[in-house]
Structure 1
């Protein structure tokens, strides 16, 4: 075993990070030494040597080599898209790592920076994050790189950062990377900017970790990274949401008045037909084109350029496909949102690799998944792996009080309190998680149940409260509307959970309302997917145990309504306990 540090500032994993003497947060990691390949070959003589040699651990989990073999065969047979639906416990990260090693250069995309860091810690790959995650070496005030001197000083001052990058080498050995266009980039000195140093390592690495938000910005706009052989997209059921959010464009009166001395006429805020906005958007685009950037700080100039580019894209989209867009207006401004992203997904993401591997525990329906992402079924190889978690170790108890919909919740919510109190008392020595789906339900529970075991959070301190909950040895109960995904709570970290409210997408959002009207199956899909993701937070291994309670009577819809029923997988149905 090899021990060292994972530096959250510079992204390095080694005995001593590049930050040198500068103060930095470091986290001890354990890197598994190279497995004994000859021993694995003896144990698995029928497995391709290339798979064995690139597998990261000394022993595979049950079925891992078979999954990797089938995916490798599909890639070698010319499939461009591979979909792997496999539950927690399959070891998808080891599968991803093996395939990335075989088909490098590769990208591995994760939903969050936290998951990105987990991959980096476990497998040692370089990751790339935005400027806001790094401390500026040119500042004496511990500024982040997104507010450092190179970003905030006007271009007229001709500031040159000694730690930054240039297109001209100053001495041999200061090469940083070649960008996507083949242009060589160099460092100005041997002492390197923390942000650019981690990015240069990531660009030059054969395997790079990115989170989706960074990847969608970097690959489509910045373009320092080139096309790679393989892109592994973890938690792939969320790709559509990520692309929708990236393509949204919000225009606030406050921003417009500051940038171009304009505001949106109040009479226009009622316009819901996207075609009615085309002329106004064209006018705004011209206003942004006319802005002089010469005296602006770089970060502001970059924002202006991004806004200009986004306005240009929006003009094209509204002109070519206005029915695919919705307009959400308020007193403070306007937001344009796409209804579907099937025609955009390839250009924005998938074209940056020869082969895309989608991994998720909740694909649910591969045909719908492909349809919504604009993927042609004939290019897809689908592999579904059944859950190996015994149903008896992950029971689902239906303790319903009636529907918890917006119209009925005032009547049914009071009935939930005595049931919650009984559940909490029954698990008085165990930690638990209550999924509320929204902050209103969270605060209702916190006001009604005066128990010191219960803790909640705000949107601003979610990560802090989650860490507090995970590390505590007390039997805490975390009440949250936002822990259904990206949270790993095995064994004693969570031994019971409550689905307080079925997670129907919010119909007060015009985008969701219009999409449901166009495609009711999509709305059902999003509901079932979010429910199943929440269900999986506390059951993380074959020998784990976690009980789940459902209080919302709308759960019956998932078993009785045709649209929902077809999406609910057997592994969830078999866990239902008829109390």
Structure 2
């Protein structure tokens, strides 16, 4: 299932990939190399020798007991094929990407993958699709689909499909959220996944986690966990901000942060 920039479902007809998909989904992969060949059949072309060499090394690492594997390869190597092969072999995966375009790449090239995006990407049914979903009131929303209304077929295979109640009006944001929770194969952006995780939401457990463009993870994590301390608000609380520099002692920074936090808590309790 795909969505356009307005949150509307995009329905596509048969394609070459659909035909290859029927052939490729006839059996489950018995090895990582077999899974890579299935990916090739789905895409309609043979895997490269470089991809086969990488798969052999990953297979050896897994058989040796490694749980965390770092793959660094030039652009154009076909790392997404490696990720898809691993996903099919393990029958479930969560792929994290740094951009929506990379999510689209997984979805467009491998239609059995689902994507989960933020509220700004969808138009809210409560506003008759005038405003995006960040403007809606999600609690007790009449258009929010129920988790139990979704059914999954042929789980963990290329032929996996998920169906839900075909309501005339249904929140597109929560529709893709529920599909993402049920799906064996789903791609999140780092921002979306971390926001769900850090809010305390229980995320589906899958056998494989792929961090695409992993160097972006630290920055996104820092963005979501960071707190900006503004001197203006410090003055309101009666706290003077010291002059910090690269030579500042870490204790002076810690003391300022603690005093800011303590005073703020006292103000809330009073």
TM range (shorter): 0.7 to 0.9
Which of 213, 218, 230 in structure 2 is aligned with 1:240? 218
- Offset of residue 85 of structure 1: 1.0
TM-superposed CA distance for 1:226, in Å, is: 2.3
Task: Tell whether 2:193 aligns with 1:207.
Answer: no
Matches within 5 A, 1:389-468: none
Task: Output aligned runs, 1:154-193, within 5 Å.
Answer: 160-165=140-145, 174-175=149-150, 191-193=169-171
Larger Cα Rg: Structure 1 or Structure 2?
1
Q: How far is 1:160 from its partner?
A: 3.4
Q: Report what 1:34 is aligned to.
A: 20
Which aligned segments of 4 or more residues in structure 1 are displaced greater than 6 angstroms?
Answer: none
Unaligned 5+ residue runs, structure 2?
Answer: 26-30, 153-163
Residue of structure 1 equivalent to 2:101: 114
1:113-169 superposed Cα distances (whole Å, 9 cap, x missing partner): 122122212212111111111100111361111102x15xxxxxxx732102568xx
Give the corresponding residue for 2:91: 104
Q: Which residue of 2 aligns with 1:132?
A: 120
Residue of structure 2 equivalent to 1:570: none
Does the 8 Å contact 1:108/1:232 carry over to 2? yes
TM-score by length of 1: 0.37
| 2:12 corresponding residue in structure 1 | 15
- Whole-Å separation in 2 of the counterparts to 1:164 and 1:85: 41
Tell me which residue corresponds to 1:566: none
The corresponding residue for 2:160 is none
Q: Which is richer in strand?
A: 1
Q: In structure 1, what is the Cα distance between the partners aligned to 2:223 and 2:202?
A: 22
The change in CA–CA distance for 1:263 and 1:126 in structure 2 (over 3 A counts) is: farther
Instruction: Within 5 Å, give how 1:49-448 maps onto structure 2.
Output: 49-55=34-40, 56-57=42-43, 58-124=45-111, 125-140=113-128, 142-148=130-136, 150=137, 160-165=140-145, 174-175=149-150, 191-252=169-230, 263-265=236-238, 267-270=240-243, 273-276=252-255, 277-285=257-265, 287=267
Deviation at 1:69, TM superposition (A): 2.7
Question: Unpaired segments of 5 or more residues in structure 1?
Answer: 17-28, 39-45, 152-158, 168-172, 178-185, 292-579
- Aligned counterparts of 1:107 and 1:162: Cα–Cα separation in 2: 29
| 1:208 to partner: Cα distance | 0.8
> What root-mean-square deviation, in Å, do the aligned CA atoms of Structure 1 and Structure 2 show?
3.6
- For residues 5 and 48 of structure 1, the distance between their equivalents in structure 2, rounded to whole angstroms, comes to 29
Secondary structure, aligned partner of 2:72: strand
Provide TM-score, normalisation by structure 2: 0.74
Q: Distance in 2 between matches of 1:13 and 1:73?
A: 40
How far apart, in 1, do the equivalents of 2:123 and 2:99 lie?
A: 20
Cα pair 1:31 1:121 within 8 Å, conserved = no
CA–CA distance in structure 1, aligned partners of residues 78 and 60 of structure 2: 19
- Number of corresponding residues: 241
User: Equivalents in 1 of 2:9, 2:151: separation in Å?
Assistant: 16
Change (3 A) 1:163 1:176: farther
1:30 and 1:122 in contact (8 A); partners too: no
Higher relative CO (Cα under 8 Å, sequence separation at least 6) belongs to 2
Give, in angstroms, the shift of residue 253 of structure 1.
6.6
What is the DSSP-based 3-state SS (H/G/I as helix, E as strand, rest coil) of the residue aligned with 2:49? coil
**CA 1:5–1:247: 2 relative to 1, 3 Å:** closer
